[in-house]
Amino acid sequence: MTDDIKSDETEPLTVPPATQQPAPAQESALPQEEIARMTDDIVAALKTVYDPEIPADIYELGLIYKVDIKDDRAVNVDMTLTTPNCPAAAELPIMVENAVSSVQGVGPVNVQIVWDPPWDPSRMSDEARLVLNMW
């Protein structure tokens, strides 16, 4: 196979950085208006989920790290907990899944607990700080 043979006299072809084109942005199959509506509705749904021990919703607490709406309307949510020993660790992901699933137009929902970066109080919104009197 001649494709595998290389000579010491030849160098690999490289494209100078100035002429390299960035990868084209992938556009969603969903209209932007639909993505915006779903995003707003998902955030509103997440704001209905409260940690049973904390009088602030999980969105304002900063427990939601990422919400990814796929072209097939599946939604992946990365979230964390205030501590790995959180007593609500078993129920909060189910509550998040149910809340997001209730949004019109949402397909299957997958909730993943992540620990990196670890949660800390700096992730809370001003609204959560006010509710928890943490100024």
Question: Quick check: is 93 in a domain?
Answer: yes
Residue 82 sits in a domain whose CATH number is: 3.30.300.130
Q: What is the pTM of this model?
A: 0.77
Question: Quick check: is 6 in a domain?
Answer: no
Question: Quick check: is 46 in a domain?
Answer: yes
* CA angle, residues 98, 102, 104, in degrees to nearest 5: 150
pLDDT reported for residue 29: 84
Q: Which structural domain range is residue 110 located in? A: 30-119
Question: Quick check: is 88 in a domain?
Answer: yes
pLDDT reported for residue 52: 87
Question: Quick check: is 115 in a domain?
Answer: yes
CA 13 to the chain's CA centroid: 38
Alpha helices in 3-135 (DSSP H): 32-46, 58-61, 92-101, 126-131
Q: What is the pLDDT along the chain (135 residues), one digit of tens a residue?
A: 444 443 344 444 444 444 444 444 456 788 899 999 999 999 999 999 998 888 999 999 999 999 999 999 999 999 999 998 988 899 999 999 999 999 999 999 999 999 999 999 999 999 999 999 886
Question: Quick check: is 128 in a domain?
Answer: no
Calpha distance 36→26 (Å, rounded): 17
